[in-house]
Amino acid sequence: MNFSKLFFWQRLAGVNGQAVSSSTASRSKMMSYDQPLVWVSLALLLLGMVMVYSASIALPESPKYAGYRNTHFLMRQVIFMAIGLMAGMAAFRVPLKTWERLAPWLFVIALLLLVLVLVPGIGKGVNGARRWISLKVFNVQPSELMKLAVVLYAANFTVRKQNVMHRLTKGFMPMAAAVGLVGLLLLLEPDLGAFGVIVCIAMGILFLGGINAVWFGGISATLVGIFGMVVLLSPWRRERIFAYLNPWVEENALGKAYQLSHSLIAFGRGELFGVGLGGSVEKLHYLPEAHTDFLLAVIGEELGLAGVLAVVILFFWIVRRSFEIGRQAITMELIFSGLVAKGIGIWIGVQAFINMGVNLGLLPTKGLTLPLMSYGGSGIVMNCIGLAILLRIDYENRIVMRGGRI
């Protein structure tokens, strides 16, 4: 570590260049964690809870949810949030050294769960996709755990292989094989959206970890080609692409682009400041999955452009802060922590971007939820744990800046 930087941070903390003991650092309560990050995350969680209630309040009127109460999805979302916050508080207490040691095992566990999803009698199918494991009370989606596992594993791999990251066979191919296996299992579910997020996480961390830029460009082009072939060889995916390109043709508007066309209508109705909270018409059985994949469309209709921009700004702030925390950690030679922080930023940013792009008609329809906001237990819990790890990284950064030990 650069001693001039250490001296600067010690002066900034008001210790006049004297060494600060770890016990003194741990006793300090001032600026011990990133409070703005906590409040921004809570703001997204609470806004998501309100909008899930608004988007789902009319669902019991449809035959599919006839036995449900109007507050069914709200109460479950509150439970998911409570579990997520408790899991986050537990994750925050785990040092990054422990996460680094456990990273390969978490990846293996997530991989086994992806295999179990495909086993008849264990995996649960919904709308033609088998992505969940039923635990009677609620369903678990292993792909959400895999997103966190890939962040930790890719960072761990990059640290272990730091000296050979410039070599294709030792620095990239082992990670490519691991992600390829994950991709195969996800495509069998099928879940192309989750696979895209996981590929972006792994490639982003490898790039930040020092992989050869020329190979990175070639590999990225290859991956784009593979995704293109997957789409071309799958008739229903191909139909979705063509429908997305022209959603207003009658055949598309009543078929593959039905969700997209009604999502765009919702945004159009919202204009600048929306029709008012609870006033959405599209959520009244016109827009399918309004409380999950298309929650942003309901926000756009009820809160208008102002509400959508507020959500975009909050997500941008989280991603930007993630990279700042990661850069601080890497500056202090906490390489694993820095890569994990940036990986969490990539995860949240890419998934939010894809969900928003789908809602706005900028990207083909994919079954990805809006992080921290959309209805869903696995996603909420994993997002909370991911952000808690990010807070832990920032917490450890602050201890080191004060001259303490972690």
Could you give the percent of the chain with pLDDT greater than 90? 52
Q: Please check the confidence at residue 4 and state whether its pLDDT lies above 50.
A: no
- Please tell me the predicted confidence (pLDDT) of residue 285: 85
- Please tell me the predicted confidence (pLDDT) of residue 14: 38
Q: Please check the confidence at residue 273 and state whether its pLDDT lies above 70.
A: yes
Q: What is the pLDDT of residues 101-144, one digit of tens each?
A: 999 999 999 999 999 998 887 877 776 677 888 877 778 899 99
- Please tell me the predicted confidence (pLDDT) of residue 345: 97
* Better-predicted residue by pLDDT, 302 or 402: 302
Q: What is the mean pLDDT of the chain?
A: 85
Cβ contact 303:54 at 8 Å:
no
Q: Is the peptide bond before 95 cis (omega within 30 degrees of 0)?
A: no
* Better-predicted residue by pLDDT, 224 or 346: 346
Q: Please check the confidence at residue 312 and state whether its pLDDT lies above 60.
A: yes
Q: Which of 4-8, 126-130, 301-305 has the highest mean pLDDT?
A: 301-305
Q: Tokens representing 188?
A: 């069998």
Q: What is the pLDDT of residues 136-170, one digit of tens each?
A: 777 889 999 999 999 999 999 999 888 776 677 77
Phi first, then psi: give them for residue 258, nearest 5 degrees.
Answer: -60, -50
Please give the Cα distance from 209 to 207 (Å, whole number): 5
Q: Please check the confidence at residue 271 and state whether its pLDDT lies above 60.
A: yes
Q: Please check the confidence at residue 16 and state whether its pLDDT lies above 90.
A: no
Please give the Cα distance from 325 to 332 (Å, whole number): 11
pLDDT band at 8 (very low <50, low <70, confident <90, very high): very low
* Better-predicted residue by pLDDT, 35 or 239: 35
Phi first, then psi: give them for residue 378, nearest 5 degrees.
Answer: -60, -45
- Please tell me the predicted confidence (pLDDT) of residue 236: 66
- What are the residues facing 134 on neighbouring strands? 139
For the chain, what are the domain ranges? 1-16+31-93+257-406, 102-233
pLDDT band at 31 (very low <50, low <70, confident <90, very high): low
- Please tell me the predicted confidence (pLDDT) of residue 128: 66
Please give the Cα distance from 406 to 402 (Å, whole number): 11
- Please tell me the predicted confidence (pLDDT) of residue 66: 81
pLDDT band at 6 (very low <50, low <70, confident <90, very high): very low
Q: Please check the confidence at residue 374 and state whether its pLDDT lies above 60.
A: yes
Q: What is the pLDDT of residues 161-219, one digit of tens each?
A: 887 766 777 777 888 888 889 988 988 888 888 988 999 999 899 888 877 666 667 77
- Please tell me the predicted confidence (pLDDT) of residue 180: 86
- Please tell me the predicted confidence (pLDDT) of residue 13: 39
- Please tell me the predicted confidence (pLDDT) of residue 188: 86
Q: What is the pLDDT of residues 337-363, one digit of tens each?
A: 999 999 999 999 999 999 999 999 888
Cβ contact 51:299 at 8 Å:
yes
In this prediction, residues 237-255 reach a mean pLDDT of: 73
